[in-house]
Amino acid sequence: MTHLPQTPSNAAPSLSSLMVQSSEQAPLTAAQQRFNDLLAQIERLSGQLQRLQAWSDRHRYAHIQALRESVQLAQAHRKSLLLFVHERLQTADFTDRQQRMARGLVRGLIDQLVASADPQVQALADLYVSEEDTEEAAQEQAEAAQRLRERIEEALGQPLEKPSQYQTPEEMMAAGMRQWQRQQQADEERKAAKRAARKAQKQAQKKSAAAEKGEVPAALMRELDAKSAIRTLFRQLASALHPDREPDEQERVRKTGLMSEVNAAYEKNDLTTLLRLQMQLTQGASQNKAGAARMADDKLIALSVLLKEQVSALQDDLEALQSRLSQELCVSVRADADEGLLTQSLQRIQADQRYCAESLATDLRRIQNDAELKRWLKEQWQLAKATSA
């Protein structure tokens, strides 16, 4: 399996070099293992974000451009079909049934083109919204909506709320999606309420026990320790990197850049960046490892509070990136997916859009003959009924 390619390594040390090292004489404690696990999660999530963004940078523009061109071409062919069928409705020898099929096809093409605000399309839209056509189309839509309702209710496992309000398949589908989303939201809210209740109960029990003993709650102590630790680290770095204390011009420029990174990391509570900058400053990973190994468990637990916040923020960033790319590229994008498969998904949807445009062009060439036009109308009518069934 070919995974998303690794991004070039930065000059900064990797997070693995910040982990507490075990030995036969000193195996890892639970606090040390938790600290290491959080660092590993941050490194993994950061890598996924970088690789997914790099993959997007390579493919996004060309993919969106290809889709836009195919869609524009397909819309041009639809407009040509619309104008041609409208013209033949005025001159060709159609039976009543064939006229109904042609008018239905024209209305369908207008629906697909009306968003373009093309004057010719708008004029035909006004022309074909007659009482007879509207009534006929409404009946067709209602029948298709009823068939769709039965499928939606089967999927939901319950009746659709107020189904009589929805007269078209689009309205029925939207109503089904809203009801499904409400179901999912209600389930999530129930689960969240249970989790919150359990958490509140535990916290209340801990506070009660701590109050009886006259102690400060452990969670609050860890949070205070974490803030104290990151503040201490920031001050150490600020003292070592202060550019005003550096006489050498080149070194002052370097320290000014590093100090900017320190300030940005401190503002975001980015502990891992501060630790890496500290390691760069000390010019030796072994020294840092020894310091981390000697750090007391209570300090590691406090620092893990900050690392956990970083994990959560990275997860949110990754989810947002995946969601945005999925919407923009019209395919499901996951950071843990194989790069080759993601790229193939883009190629498939591009091929589908090209095929759609080519099929419309083929239909336009075919129906220049009246006999073929009538056969094509029947095929399109049957296809539309099968699709809505």
At residue 21, does pLDDT exceed 70? yes
Summarize pLDDT for 62-73 with one digit per residue, the tens.
Answer: 999 999 999 999
According to the model, what pLDDT value does residue 130 have? Answer: 61
* 384 band by pLDDT with thresholds 50, 70 and 90: confident
According to the model, what pLDDT value does residue 216 have? Answer: 41
d(CA 29, CA 299): 13
Share of the chain above pLDDT 90, in %: 25
| Coil/strand/helix, residue 3 | strand
User: Stretch 229-234: mean pLDDT, rounded?
Assistant: 74
Query: For residues 45 and 91, is the Cβ–Cβ distance under 8 A?
Result: no
Please provide the average confidence, as pLDDT, over all residues in the chain.
79
Q: For the purposes of burial, counting CB atoms within 10 Å of the CB of 277, is it exposed (0-12), middle (13-18) or buried (19 or more)?
A: buried
- How many CA atoms lie within 13 Å of 368's alpha carbon, on the beta-carbon side? 5
Summarize pLDDT for 246-283 with one digit per residue, the tens.
Answer: 777 777 787 788 888 888 877 777 777 777 777 666 54
Residue among 15, 22, 20 nearest 39 (CA): 15
| Coil/strand/helix, residue 338 | strand
d(CA 263, CA 242): 11
* pLDDT higher at 344 or 212: 344
> How would you write 260-307 as a 3-class SS string?
HHHHHHHHCCCHHHHHHHHHHHHCCHHHHHHHHHHCCHHHHHHHHHHH
User: Stretch 308-329: mean pLDDT, rounded?
Assistant: 89
Share of the chain above pLDDT 70, in %: 82
For residue 12, give Cα distances in angstroms to 106, 119, 197, 210.
63, 60, 43, 43
Supply 351's token pair.
């091929």
User: Stretch 309-338: mean pLDDT, rounded?
Assistant: 90
Residue among 312, 307, 313 nearest 274 (CA): 307
According to the model, what pLDDT value does residue 281 have? Answer: 65
d(CA 58, CA 64): 12
* 288 band by pLDDT with thresholds 50, 70 and 90: very low
According to the model, what pLDDT value does residue 304 have? Answer: 81
